[in-house]
Amino acid sequence: MNLNAIECLAVFLVSLLLAGIIIPQILLISFRKNLFDEVDERKIHKGRVPRLGGIAFMPSMVFSVACVSGIYCFIGWRGEPALSSDVVTFSFGVCALMIMYLVGMADDLIGVRYSAKFVAQILAAGFLATSGLTISNFHGFCGIYEIPIWVAVPFAMLVVVFVTNAINLIDGIDGLASGLSSISMLFYGWVLLCCGEVAYALVAFGTLGALIQFYYYNVFGNAKVGKKIFMGDTGALTTGIIICFLSLHICNLDVAASGFSCDPLVMAFAPLLVPCFDVVRVYLRRIRHHANPFMPDKSHIHHKLLAVGLHQRVAMVLILLVSVAFTAANYWLSTMMNSAVLLALDVVVFIVVNIWLSAAINKREKRNNIEKQ
């Protein structure tokens, strides 16, 4: 194991430890100040559960990356800071992260109108695009390669807003958003480390440490003894903007120089296919039924799995396995086929699965109606 890999491991462990210290304190404050996620007809959980777990994400990631990088420089294992050549990108990235963190915290504490959150997301996306994190090359997708900057910047902003919302909206059952985000962080961390992008790999593994610690409290915590917590909008928006930061950077890497034969766009977005496909399907469904596409309902993929009769944890694990399968299959198949064809294949698979789920739900409802009669 080389020094860069050891540094990533150290960042992961420090973030894991720090999140393990912060989350119990958040639980304590939440119970003392009576800060809980209100139960309504759309919510699945029961009992009093705080929704401020995401507050631990940014401090854990930022502290672990800064601390371990500082130690490496102090003892002379690194001649210069890992992000010295990306000062503008990281500076504007922190600005975008801070915007999402503060807006998410405000929403969890007092509530923020969706229009205000949307404006904040556009502002954060603008910071990332201005820092140089754009999609300026489609790498042959639909025959498109280099695209002009006046197209690349707004397109990147659209992607940031879309992905951030996808992560936020998929957060419907225990462990789902944090599990999907952990898969993304692990994959991104591996890719970035192999490409020699140590600073970005540190961000991925630092975030992964906080996510895994949160996942433990979210999935295995007991609400009856005050040990369960939700990430809330603070965690979802913070995680979403970090995912965008890393995925856009991967889009601009020369991955072939590091021995990868996979399309950079596929490497950047393969771990995000499940939440992104799901949010598109949900939006289209709401529009088709003349409903507000931004109003929450119970039509997401995890709701459909619950409607089939699966237990919440089984549904979560199944979706995570599907995400891993999508990521691995796209990574492998992109070396043999055009990315546009691959995306079309992904869409077909996702549509077929959803049609099958809808049929299974209808069959189950008919059987239940017959039994009631």
Number of residues written out for the chain: 373
155 or 373: which carries more pLDDT confidence? 155
**Angstrom distance (rounded) from CA 365 to CA 214:** 35
- pLDDT reading at 47 higher than 70: no
Percent above pLDDT 90 for the chain? 37
Query: Residue 231: left if φ>0, alpha if ψ -120 to 50, beta else—which one?
Result: alpha
Average pLDDT over residues 44-48: 53
**Angstrom distance (rounded) from CA 12 to CA 218:** 19
Place of tokens 């860069």: 4
> Burial of 34 by CB count in 10 Å (0-12 exposed, 13-18 middle, 19+ buried)?
exposed
Calculate the alpha carbon distances from 97 to 92, 93, 292, 294, 369 in Å. Answer: 9, 6, 28, 23, 49
- pLDDT reading at 124 higher than 90: yes
What's the pLDDT band for 83 if we cut at 50, 70, 90?
low
- Among 65-79, 205-219, 317-331, 357-371, the minimum mean pLDDT is found in 65-79
What's the pLDDT band for 45 if we cut at 50, 70, 90?
very low
* pLDDT (0 to 100) of residue 37: 58
Q: Are 257 and 228 in contact (CB under 8 A)?
A: no
94 or 191: which carries more pLDDT confidence? 191
Instruction: Provide the whole-model pTM.
Output: 0.88
For the chain, the average pLDDT equals 85
- pLDDT reading at 275 higher than 50: yes
**Angstrom distance (rounded) from CA 212 to CA 133:** 27
Q: Are 328 and 183 in contact (CB under 8 A)?
A: no
355 or 297: which carries more pLDDT confidence? 355
Calculate the alpha carbon distances from 286 to 229, 281, 293, 294, 297 in Å. Answer: 30, 9, 5, 9, 9
What's the pLDDT band for 257 if we cut at 50, 70, 90?
confident
38 or 11: which carries more pLDDT confidence? 11
* pLDDT (0 to 100) of residue 240: 94
* pLDDT (0 to 100) of residue 71: 77
48 or 284: which carries more pLDDT confidence? 284
Q: Is 263 helix (H, G, I), strand (E, B) or coil?
A: coil
* pLDDT (0 to 100) of residue 350: 92
Highest mean pLDDT of the ranges 29-33, 222-226, 273-277: 273-277
* pLDDT (0 to 100) of residue 295: 73
What's the pLDDT band for 23 if we cut at 50, 70, 90?
confident
82 or 102: which carries more pLDDT confidence? 102
Helix or strand run (H / E) with residue 281: helix 273-288
Average pLDDT over residues 65-69: 81
CA atoms within 13 A on the CB side of 283: 12
**Angstrom distance (rounded) from CA 341 to CA 298:** 31
**Angstrom distance (rounded) from CA 264 to CA 249:** 10
Residues with Cβ within 8 Å of 258's Cβ and at least 6 positions away in sequence, in order, are 194, 195, 196
- Among 65-69, 178-182, 199-203, the minimum mean pLDDT is found in 65-69
Q: Are 54 and 238 in contact (CB under 8 A)?
A: yes
* pLDDT (0 to 100) of residue 84: 54
Per-residue pLDDT tens digits for 143-174:
888 889 989 999 999 999 999 999 988 888 88
Per-residue pLDDT tens digits for 279-310:
999 888 888 877 777 777 777 888 899 988 88
* pLDDT (0 to 100) of residue 324: 96
- Among 5-19, 55-69, 271-285, the minimum mean pLDDT is found in 55-69
**Extended strands (E) in 175-307:** none
Highest mean pLDDT of the ranges 352-356, 360-364, 365-369: 352-356
Percent above pLDDT 70 for the chain? 91
